[in-house]
Every structure is written in structure tokens, then in C-alpha cells.
Amino acid sequence: MLSKFKMSIWPLLGNVIIYKNTFVIAGMAICNKKHNIKHIIMKKNFTYCLMALLIFISFVTPVNAQVNGTAAKPLVSTVDKPVYYYVESAWNGTPSLNNTSIDARGNLMYAPTGTSGVQLKHNPMATITSSLSADNAIWQVVSENGIVKLKNKGVGLYLNESKFAATTPSLSVTFTPITADPNQYNIKNNSTSSIVAWTNSNCDRLTSQYWGANGAAAWYFIVVPGSEANYNEALAVQARLNLDAKILDAQNLLASTVEGSGFVYSAESRSALSSAISDAIAVQADNNKTKAEIETAIATLINAMNTYKTSGSVNPVSLLSASASNYRWYWIKSTSTLAYAQNKVISKGTRVVGDKFTFEAKAAEPADVQLFRFELTDDQTKILNIINKTDVYMASSGAVATASTVDNSFSLISLSDGRSFNIKPTSVAAIHGQENGAAIVNWAGDVGSASAWMFEFAMETAKVTTSLNDANQSDYKVRVSDHMITVDGEYEFEIYSVTGQKQNKYNSLSDGVYFVKLKDATIKVVVR
């Protein structure tokens, strides 16, 4: 006997029947082991059958997450070739918003009036067009005076403060793809908050708690019909901009990994990256290259950069001068992406012994307080001492010290960007730029953190020591008058302090000990 159920909740599926515990939907067996019907569906089986049906539907029914079209990228377009978008909510009700949730999928962001300062709303298109033009729900990404804006087509206002429409936006708009679903975006032109689809059809703004995929702050950009050609052209333009950016990244990588930076790259690996950059530049210069060819060039250059990064090795010996009589001096520069530390250099500043070293903007001209040299361990695999040009040391704690820290050395641990290090003392965490107090402390961190540093070469100077060579000092007459040093019959000489700073020989000197360096002798002189 065949038992048949009409299921009103599944009108599109027709009848549901069972062949030996196997569903037949709309007269077609999903899995039919036998032709004979042996079991009649019973009431107690219905729950199990319904669950199986739902599973089946999830496999065979295609799901289009966007309601009003296909998800696209928010691209800047021009007046001549505009690209218009619907900005569609992706919020499916989870997570809830302040313990309240709605399924806002398909709702479009729109300007309800043309009054500057009006709060934006979201609703289905049918609701919007019942009283307004569809243009009120259409947007364009524009760049005006270098500021990216989201402009409404219907009323001409701009997204402002992540929830209003205004004549003049306060900040540039950013569109951040959501990691779990890159087709969805957080939209923000407020310093801390993104626009959300609130539960009362108004748009509002909230912080990162609601910025995940399918959340209240998740939005799709849907290309409005008629904008497709301009969108495809904008995609090609964006691809060229992406290639430009990647070429610059590769050039910076090559330039920042020169000899003496701590990383050592072979001539072969540097040549390979240089060649890849040249190939990418050639693609960029060819206006006939398609979007696909440009994207291939980007991928090729990225692969070349990744290969180059992995080919480098850390070699502290590269920090030393090739001449035993010279010092090489470096800035220790932060590679952090954090604004407070970005491109800052470690400095003694005005700190005294016992204080922490600080970090600050690099001076226009090399300043002794910002320059460091390195002494290596006996096996030359680590840094034994980090010495400031003011003749003080960096302790393992980041403090200003008069001598090296006992039983300590600094390991250089390469990071994945191919140019940054952790500078890690023996028994504590890596050297770190702390925002509070602008102090050097100990804290672990990876690429982009304030624990990531690079060494930037500044200069090479001659060592000045107290030892004299075999030249007869009596051949020279060194005089001190009015705190100025002169050498009879000699004009080609240099004067250095005991800490190695070169002095202006035409200026009066402070009281102290100095070294007069001549062609074949170095003479110690006391100025009082």
C-alpha cells in the first residue's frame, strides 16, 4: 500500500512518498534500492523524514545569498563612466543586535529625503519605491579632491558618520572585505564605527562586535543593471592600480634589503626579483594588456616576492664594516603598521642612564642619539652589544646602560616580510616600542607589531683609539690655544671626541680629551 502526504509547506516539491525508508519527491526516487514498496510512512517516522528532506534540499537547491543581483567590489568611478550600486544588507539575524534580530537580507540602504543630516534607512526595494524613486537606493563610489565618498544618486548626498546622508562627509569612506566572506563589506567613514542595519529599518553605527559575516554591519555591493560595462572597465583600471601597488611593494622590498641590513640575499635572488619587477613594469606599460593578463602579472610578482623573502638569511656579520678600522652606524627603525610607532627610530633622546631608550621620528640629519653600532658574539651569530653613538649601551630591558648586560646577547629572528626582525635578548621577550611613555620595553610581536624592526644604514666612520702607530709624534707640533687645536704645517687632520664624534676643527672645543687623526698617526690631546 502506498501512503501519500500532501505537504502544504512544500508546495513546489509536490508529493512526498517513501520507498523502503527512501524519499521519492515529485515522483522521482532519490535512492531506490528496490522497486517494491515495503513500508508505508507512519506518523512516528514523519520527523525523521522531514529532517532528511531538509538535508536533501540543502544539497540540491542552489542558494543565492544576494537578493537584488550578484555581489561585486566597490570601485571608484567617474562622472563620465559611473558605476551604480545597490548597497544590500547581508544580515541574516545572527548574531543578534542588542538581543534583537531581524532577517534583513535583501534590504537596501537608501536616503529617505534630500535633507542634509538625514538618517539613512534600509528596506526592501518594493517598500522604497512605494513612496520614493529607486534612485534613492542607488549609490556611487566617487573620489573628490582625493577623498573617497559614497554618493547617493537620487538626492546627491553622501554617507556621513556611518549613518547619515550629508552635503559634506567628515571623513573618507573605507570598504573592508569581511574575512569569512570577502563578498561582504564593512562600510565606515567614522573613526570607530561601521554602518549597521538596525532593527527598526533605520541605519545606525556600531563598533566591531557586529562586524562579522552575515552580521548587522555586513553589506553587499550589487551593480545596478546598465552599469555593467562601466563596472568591467573600472575593474580593469583597478587591476592596473593593484599592479602599480604591487610593483612598488616589490621595489621597496628590494631596496630595503640591501647589504648591511642584517638580511643577506644572494646576487642570484636579487637578480630574479629585479627581473620579475621589470616584467611587471612591461605589462603595466602595455595598454593592450587585458585584465586577466594584468592579474596574472600580479600573481607572478607576488610569487617572486615570496620566493625572494624565503631566500634571505640572517647574518649579523653583514652589520660590520669590511674595514677593521671602521664602524658602521644604523638607525633601528620600526616597521610597525601602528601609527604611533610606524617608521619611528630608537633613540637615546634626552634619557639618562637607567631610563628606557625611546623612539621618535628620524631627524632630517643623522643625530648621534639615534645611531647605533653592533658588536657580535665570538661565534658571530648574535649581537653581543648594541651601542649608541653617544657611547651608551642598550640593556636587555631596553634601558640606557654604561656597559653591556652580563650574560646577555641579542638574537635576530627574521619575520615573514623578509626585512623585519625581532631583536630578542637572551632571557626576556623581544625589544618593543611601547606607546605609553614612548619607551623601549620587552614584548613579543610579529610582522606589523611594535616588536618588528629593521636596520637602516646611516654612515661609516673611522674608529678612533688611544693607541698610536709607529710614526714619530715628535714630527708633529700639536698646539692648543683658546680651546682650538692646530697642527703646525698640517691642514689635513681630523679631531674626534673619546666617544667617536667628529668635531669641527675650526670651532672652540669643550674641556676634555680628544684624538687628532693624521695620515700616519693618531695623537691624544687634552683641552682645558
490 has a pLDDT exceeding 50:
yes
182 has a pLDDT exceeding 50:
yes
Per-residue confidence (pLDDT) for residue 65, from 0 to 100: 75
Per-residue confidence (pLDDT) for residue 12, from 0 to 100: 33
The percentage of residues in the chain with a pLDDT greater than 90, rounded to a whole number, is: 61
Mean per-residue pLDDT for 262-284? 91
> Is residue 36 very low, low, confident or very high in pLDDT (cuts 50, 70, 90)?
very low
| φ, ψ at 363 (rounded to 5°) | -65, 155
Q: Where are the domains of the chain?
A: 5-60, 71-223, 236-312, 317-462, 473-527
Mean per-residue pLDDT for 280-289? 94
- In the three-class reduction of DSSP (H, G, I as helix; E, B as strand; rest coil), residue 355 is classed as coil
Q: Identify any residues that bridge with 118 across adjacent strands, giving them in sequence order.
A: 165
Asked if 399 and 420 touch (Cβ cutoff 8 Å), the reply is no
> Is residue 11 very low, low, confident or very high in pLDDT (cuts 50, 70, 90)?
very low
Cell numbers found for residue 480: 692648543
Per-residue confidence (pLDDT) for residue 412, from 0 to 100: 94
CA–CA dist 467, 522 (Å, integer): 7
pLDDT in tens, 228-272: 999 999 999 899 999 999 999 999 989 888 655 677 888 899 999
Per-residue confidence (pLDDT) for residue 462, from 0 to 100: 86
- In the three-class reduction of DSSP (H, G, I as helix; E, B as strand; rest coil), residue 436 is classed as helix
Residues with Cβ within 8 Å of residue 498, at least 6 apart in sequence: 391, 464, 512, 513, 514, 515
| CA-based end-to-end distance of the chain | 120
Q: How far is CA 526 from its chain centroid?
A: 53
Residues with Cβ within 8 Å of residue 339, at least 6 apart in sequence: none
225-242: burial string, b at 16+ Cβ within 10 Å, e else: eebeebbebbeeeebbee
CA–CA dist 514, 288 (Å, integer): 66
Sheet holding 28-29, edge to edge: 5-6, 15-19, 22-25, 28-29
518 has a pLDDT exceeding 80:
yes
The percentage of residues in the chain with a pLDDT greater than 70, rounded to a whole number, is: 84
Cell numbers found for residue 133: 524613486
The answer to whether the Cα torsion of 504, 509, 512, 514 is positive or negative is positive
Per-residue confidence (pLDDT) for residue 91, from 0 to 100: 94
Asked if 75 and 230 touch (Cβ cutoff 8 Å), the reply is no
Mean per-residue pLDDT for 477-494? 86
pLDDT in tens, 90-101: 999 887 877 888
Q: What dotted CATH number matches 71-223?
A: 2.80.10.50
Place of cell 688611544: 466
Q: What dotted CATH number matches 317-462?
A: 2.80.10.50
CATH level 3 topology of 236-312 = Substrate Binding Domain Of Dnak; Chain:A; Domain 2 (1.20.1270)
Taking the model in full, what pTM does it have? 0.55
Helix (H) or strand (E) holding 444: none
> Is residue 512 very low, low, confident or very high in pLDDT (cuts 50, 70, 90)?
confident
Burial class of 244 by CB neighbour count within 10 A (0 to 12, 13 to 18, 19+): middle
In 3D, which of 363, 362, 376 has the Cα closest to residue 328?
A: 376
> Is residue 499 very low, low, confident or very high in pLDDT (cuts 50, 70, 90)?
low
Any idea which of 392-396, 420-424, 488-492, 504-508 has the lowest mean pLDDT? 488-492
Place of cell 518594493: 126
Per-residue confidence (pLDDT) for residue 502, from 0 to 100: 79
Distances (CA, A) of 446 to 131, 337, 413, 425: 54, 11, 10, 16
**Mean pLDDT over all residues of the chain?**
84
- In the three-class reduction of DSSP (H, G, I as helix; E, B as strand; rest coil), residue 192 is classed as coil
Per-residue confidence (pLDDT) for residue 322, from 0 to 100: 86
Cell numbers found for residue 46: 514523519
Any idea which of 73-77, 198-202, 372-376, 507-511 has the lowest mean pLDDT? 507-511
| φ, ψ at 195 (rounded to 5°) | -75, 140
Per-residue confidence (pLDDT) for residue 474, from 0 to 100: 53
Cell numbers found for residue 413: 629572528
pLDDT in tens, 45-61: 444 444 444 433 333 33
Helix (H) or strand (E) holding 410: strand 410-414
Fold match flag (71-223 vs 317-462): yes
